Structure 1
Amino acid sequence: EFFLIFTLDGLLQVADWSVTFENPNPCAVKGSSVEFRCSYNYPDREIARKIAWYKGQFIDGDWKRIALSDIPSYQNRSEYLGDLQHNCSLEIQDLQDDDAGYYYFRFDTDKYGRRSKESCLNITISVVNPKRVRAGDTVTLECGASCPLSTTVWFKDGHPVSKPNFTAQAEDAGNYFCAVEGQESVQSDPVTLDVQYSPLNVSVEVSHAGLLTVGSSVNLTCSSAANPAADSYTWYRSTGSSSVLQVGSGQVLCLPSVDLSHSGLYICQSRNRLGENNSTQVLLTVTETDSEYEGKLKCT
């Protein structure tokens, strides 16, 4: 959560009795300070004897107004800037998420007490578009708030983001946060962007380098980058003619005892629910030998 928005409405009681907020819609960033600029009036014949700021809280199911002086978290962060005349301004420092809520000012004279209307504090931050997108979708990053903001800047995994609008690619996945320009040390909570895509960079690794002799063993292992991870692998072999044969499935194609018919170009097709992609061709060449091949490899 990032932005703290205070909405303060003054209350006019009767003639000569009033509480007025000079900045009815101040907006501040978490970690910074905010000042409630406040004034109050009463008849000249009265004398203000007591003032206090309160925060509304639910306690045991009941709505109560608790003096800030009685809330431990405000002890070193709130400062009354006013007096017992007409100034009721208050400053709250190092704003935190828990500062959200309703605030009230009250003053008492010898005969009467008057309280302001409630003030409302809201906290919002949002990223437009789902947190999970597909490659090719348009993403718009936005710091949301209920009041006008200064220029905002965005970061991905700690690095500046040049544009808040972009077409999602696999490399755009990561943790994003925003800040107000000039106050980059005060940052929003991170929002994770998950970019999903069909298999990319499909490749095949061969366990045996070079020529293969009849009767030897070889493994072909397929790998790819995909989100979600590939859940299907299919193997094909081209014999040099126009025909292509499906020769296996699974991430590893095990050929425990090759013969001349295993020679050819092998392709792995990797698939997830978003699509499929093929590897480049890998050539296997099997040659005859005059003597029985010794020390055959075993498929693992």
Structure 2
Amino acid sequence: MVMSVRMAPPLPLIVLIMIHGACSQTENVIYSPSHICALKNSSVIMSCTYTYRPGHWIRNVFWTKTLEKVNGEHPDLSKDPEYSQRLQYLGDKQQNCTIRLSHVTMKDSREYYFRFITNKQKLLVFTGEDKWIGKPGVSLTVTDLQVESPERVTEGDSVRLTCKSSCTLTDRATFIWYRNSQLVTTGIIGNQLILWRVSREDTGRYSCGVYGHSYRSPAVQLNIRYPPENPVLSISPSGEIVSGDSVTLICSSDSNPPAEISWFKGRTFVGSGRIFSISKISSDDSGEYKCRSINEHGEKYSDAVTLNVMYPPKSISVSISPSGKIVSGDSVTMICSSDSNPPAEISWFKGRTFVGSGRIYSISKISSDDSGEYKCRSINKHGEKHSDTVTLNVMYPPKKVSVSISPSGEIVSGYSVTLICSSDSNPPAEISWFKGGTFVVNDDSN
């Protein structure tokens, strides 16, 4: 038997050319999550896994922040001076490509990519390497924290402060709050701080953070507005005030916004501003002073304080009662009026002779001997002053009437003789002459 063998036509030589991306189902990078929102200054874990085709082995792995090549290759992030000290590769050269990026800043917000290079095992014809990059990459957004607060808060309001970020933090965040750098433990709901019926004690600088992270938001001043408290008035100098001194009155009042201060002497407005000064004070400035503190939320007055100015005697005068004609036997009162602080001691003088003390000097049954010039002296520890003199003119009937003859010796017929009548009286008396019981006309020509 002759057998013929029919040869099958030769098979065409099939060359498999590996085209980058043609078998992408075996080269794959998975980021989980693919979008990360991280807090400024925190550490970020970018979880990553990758696969590659059988028959290959990993030659190199690294991360990059750009799809643009430099000198034919994507820049290795671990060799970037801005990242080298902060980047830690946690993966391996098999499946895990996770990294940790520490102390992230706002500049780190961008997309990052994992890059791996494989070597082929030697085949019949082709040898070499394949390069793969996982895109789209993992998107990192770095956010800070900002406190959002009402612009205007009045005492008694309820206030809601919100800790805001530019994106929702990937890691579940527990928010914490600070007032003047001290931890706040009540009123926290989620990312908000609720202050019920605020008072002026709640005024302060508030900031927020996230538990487990050192970063805090910039502090925001919570400025609580309230009416003035009772103003307190102080005087300088605080001791005795003497005429001519400079005196300062200060009004202290707690309020928000700051109050306008007005000054009153009694009910009369005398000035404005927290400080009221009087230079060269005088007795006219003595009196009760108070200040008023007022803002848009209310007003309060201080307690009144008395400004007691000490000064030497002034305006001294003497009055006489009765004010008309004074007749011997009358009762006469002289009163010395003197303005001084403290009250002055009063002394009385007839001419230069001290005759009494006290504001009132009285003479009962006055006589001609009491006539003369009187004045009073007013004296205290700050000085002394005398009044003008007043004349006390006492009217009285004639007394001590006598007749004298000149010449006083023997009288001879034909000589001239003078008879003189002496009489003490006020006003001066009229003189009449009698010979026996007969009235004699006084003829000065004889």
Fold in common (TM above 0.5): yes
Summarize deviations over 1:231-287 as a string: whole Å, max 9, x none: x4211233xxxxx221222222233434367422x2212345x55533421221547
Summarize deviations over 1:30-57 as a string: whole Å, max 9, x none: 5543322211223335544332212259
Q: Does 1:115 align with 2:134?
A: yes
Alpha carbons of structure 1 residues 56 and 228: separation in structure 2 relative to 1, 3 Å: farther
Structure 1 residue identity aligned to 2:276: L
> Does the aligned pair in 2 maintain the 1:235–1:247 contact within 8 Å?
yes
> Does the aligned pair in 2 maintain the 1:217–1:258 contact within 8 Å?
no
Separation in 2 of the partners of 1:31 and 1:250? 49
> Does the aligned pair in 1 maintain the 2:203–2:222 contact within 8 Å?
yes
Structure 1: gaps of 5 or more residues: 1-12, 59-64, 239-243, 296-300
> Does the aligned pair in 1 maintain the 2:40–2:142 contact within 8 Å?
no
CA drift at 1:14: 4.0
Return the match for 1:99 from 91, 108, 111. Answer: 108
Alpha carbons of structure 1 residues 257 and 22: separation in structure 2 relative to 1, 3 Å: closer
Which of structures 1 and 2 has the larger relative contact order (alpha carbons within 8 angstroms, sep 6+)?
A: 1
2:219 corresponds to which residue?
191
Structure 2: gaps of 5 or more residues: 1-22, 69-73, 119-128, 188-192, 310-339, 345-378, 384-446
CA RMSD of aligned residues (A): 3.5
2:273 corresponds to which residue?
250
Summarize deviations over 1:93-134 as a string: whole Å, max 9, x none: 34444433332222234244333213132313121224x543
Separation in 2 of the partners of 1:192 and 1:16? 53
| 2:28 match: secondary structure | strand
Alpha carbons of structure 1 residues 151 and 19: separation in structure 2 relative to 1, 3 Å: same
What's the % identity of the aligned pairs?
27
- Aligned residues between the structures: 266
Structure 1 residue identity aligned to 2:215: Q
| 2:299 match: secondary structure | strand
CA drift at 1:83: 2.7
CA drift at 1:77: 2.3
> Does the aligned pair in 1 maintain the 2:108–2:140 contact within 8 Å?
no
Separation in 2 of the partners of 1:56 and 1:135? 52
| 2:263 match: secondary structure | strand
Return the match for 1:88 from 73, 79, 97. Answer: 97
Alpha carbons of structure 1 residues 257 and 34: separation in structure 2 relative to 1, 3 Å: closer
1:241 corresponds to which residue?
none
Q: Does 1:179 align with 2:205?
A: no
Summarize deviations over 1:128-185 as a string: whole Å, max 9, x none: 224x54333543333334136332221222312133211444333333333333x26x
> Does the aligned pair in 2 maintain the 1:177–1:187 contact within 8 Å?
no
Separation in 2 of the partners of 1:90 and 1:217? 76
CA drift at 1:208: 4.2
> Does the aligned pair in 2 maintain the 1:53–1:106 contact within 8 Å?
yes
Return the match for 1:18 from 25, 28, 38. Answer: 28
1:203 corresponds to which residue?
232
Separation in 1 of the partners of 2:26 and 2:35? 24
Q: Does 1:155 align with 2:155?
A: no
Structure 1 residue identity aligned to 2:64: Y
Return the match for 1:280 from 291, 302, 318. Answer: 302
> Does the aligned pair in 1 maintain the 2:47–2:97 contact within 8 Å?
yes
Greater radius of gyration (CA): 2
